[in-house]
Amino acid sequence: MLSYIFIIIFIVLSVYLANFLKNEKLNRPLSERLLEEPNLRSDLLKAGKVNINGKELGYGIFSKRIFHNNVEHIIIYTQSQSKDFFEIRQTTLIEKIFIKIALLKPIQTLKKLYGSSIYIASDNIDFYKTLSNEKSVASIKHFLQKQPILKNSSLKLYNSDNEFCMKLSLNKKIKQEDINIDKILSVYGNEFLNIFHQLELNKKNEINHYDYIRSKTKNLKFVLLLAIIGSFFSFIYNSHKVFPQVIDTSSLIFLSILSSISISIFVMLFIFKNFKNSSFVLDITSKYTVGFLFAFLTISYYALGYINIAFDTSNPQQIIRTVIDKRKSWKPISYYVKFKYIYSQSITGNELRVPYEIYQNSKKVDIYIKSGYFNIKYVDDIK
């Protein structure tokens, strides 16, 4: 069972890492991606271009194909002359809480103009002057706060890779054939273009203020990658080891969870300290703390298990057990014997992993159990 838990952790880590370090093919500008034919290797279901008031708009309909073919979000975009990354969207509940306790500090002037329901993420001071324009305020508030065309959906505006985009995220499962893209464009198209002009995105800007954030997170990203690689090899190494073998696995898992949570909290505090003046601080925090939590869960389990055994000075307790059943696991090849009694706080039940000789020949075994440095019992030997 323990192996299955770690396999689930690695699956979660793999999905997280794939999303965190997006494939280059999926991370290119939309104008390039939408030129390709939709296929199973892409999350793109459908793409197209339209002309509104002499301005070309592109759109893409996307899905999480790995799980289902339902539409996850729709993106409408137009070419921008600005490389600067920013987001304008509804404020989330967690952001409201962090603003309340002063851990998140959006520009106060804009908070008065836009209210607490709209969040603007940008570290470009000059951009905030444009956002303070009376027309921009009215247009953006009306655009984000009007009744959505699709139920259970949310809107956000952002600029990335010289593209100004509108993202319509769907919380309700909708099939591609149920999406009327013409209706969506007729409702949002003109307002979207008006905001584009009001934000002066037709003026050239080669500076991307978000690049500074990326440069400051390089060390964190490197440590996270090392942790993920370390957790993987720790699992591989220990999956081939028979003795010593922890039997108080639930206690060890509890300690490793506490340890990984502590590391994640430390990472969170580090990010808040180093990015306290950035409007992206919460996005960065959520991204890295989740990664560190799962990456260090496996490392903590094996590291604490090693310390528990290495610093243990207790004498072994010998018990005799009758083998009532046996089984063989193929990935990797492992041999297990089953007893009548469940060991203390073990989540693996009444099984122990044993060498092949014991699996093949023994009906009764002598088990040598030691107390452990953290009072986490483990099997030191079986004969």
Please report which confidence band the pLDDT of residue 164 belongs to, taking 50, 70 and 90 as the band edges: very high
Write out the two tokens for 142: 């009306």
Is residue 157 over pLDDT 90?
yes
How far is Cα 251 from Cα 343, in angstroms, rounded to an integer?
12
Is residue 7 over pLDDT 90?
no
In a domain, residue 180? The reply is: yes
H or E element in which residue 173 lies: strand 163-174
- For residues 232 and 172, membership in a common domain is answered with no
Please report which confidence band the pLDDT of residue 78 belongs to, taking 50, 70 and 90 as the band edges: very high
What was the pLDDT predicted at 331?
63
What was the pLDDT predicted at 221?
82
Query: Of 310, 271, 293, which Cα lies nearest the Cα of 104?
Result: 271
Residue at which a domain ends, from 288, 310, 332: 310
Cβ distance 284 to 269 under 8 Å?
no
What was the pLDDT predicted at 140?
92
Query: Of 308, 311, 291, 296, which Cα lies nearest the Cα of 235?
Result: 296
What was the pLDDT predicted at 102?
77
Cβ distance 43 to 63 under 8 Å?
yes
In a domain, residue 178? The reply is: yes
Cβ distance 260 to 296 under 8 Å?
yes
- For residues 56 and 173, membership in a common domain is answered with yes
Residue at which a domain ends, from 310, 336, 353: 310
- For residues 303 and 361, membership in a common domain is answered with no
Range of weakest confidence among 47-51, 338-342, 360-364: 338-342
What was the pLDDT predicted at 24?
40
What was the pLDDT predicted at 159?
93
Measured from the Cβ of residue 46, the count of other Cβ atoms closer than 10 Å reads 16
In a domain, residue 48? The reply is: yes
In a domain, residue 11? The reply is: no
In a domain, residue 266? The reply is: yes
Within the chain, where are the H helices?
2-20, 30-33, 93-100, 108-114, 125-131, 134-145, 181-198, 210-216, 218-239, 249-274, 281-310, 356-361
Range of weakest confidence among 46-50, 193-197, 362-366: 362-366
Cβ distance 164 to 157 under 8 Å?
yes
- For residues 299 and 342, membership in a common domain is answered with no
Higher pLDDT, 324 or 346: 324
Cβ distance 158 to 88 under 8 Å?
yes
Please report which confidence band the pLDDT of residue 68 belongs to, taking 50, 70 and 90 as the band edges: low
- For residues 175 and 306, membership in a common domain is answered with no
Domain span including residue 369: 317-382
- For residues 304 and 353, membership in a common domain is answered with no
How far is Cα 163 from Cα 171, in angstroms, rounded to an integer?
25
Range of weakest confidence among 209-218, 230-239, 272-281, 302-311: 230-239
Query: Could you identify the residue written with the tokens 């002499």?
Result: 54
In a domain, residue 4? The reply is: no
207-251 pLDDT tens trace: 888 888 888 888 888 888 888 888 778 777 777 777 787 878 888
Mean pLDDT of 65-74: 74
Residue at which a domain ends, from 178, 210, 242: 210
- For residues 87 and 223, membership in a common domain is answered with no
Measured from the Cβ of residue 37, the count of other Cβ atoms closer than 10 Å reads 7
Mean pLDDT of 72-80: 91
In a domain, residue 15? The reply is: no
Is residue 191 over pLDDT 90?
yes
Range of weakest confidence among 16-25, 149-158, 234-243, 324-333: 16-25
Please report which confidence band the pLDDT of residue 23 belongs to, taking 50, 70 and 90 as the band edges: very low
Please report which confidence band the pLDDT of residue 25 belongs to, taking 50, 70 and 90 as the band edges: very low
- For residues 264 and 376, membership in a common domain is answered with no
What is the phi/psi pair of residue 367, to 5°? -110, 130
Number of structural domains found in the chain = 3
In a domain, residue 42? The reply is: yes
- For residues 328 and 181, membership in a common domain is answered with no
Average pLDDT for the chain: 81
Distances from the Cα of 22 to the Cαs of 8, 16, 255, 313, in angstroms?
21, 10, 32, 48
Tell me the sheet residues that pair with 337.
326, 352
Is residue 358 over pLDDT 60?
yes
How do strand 245-246 and strand 378-382 relate by DSSP bridges? antiparallel
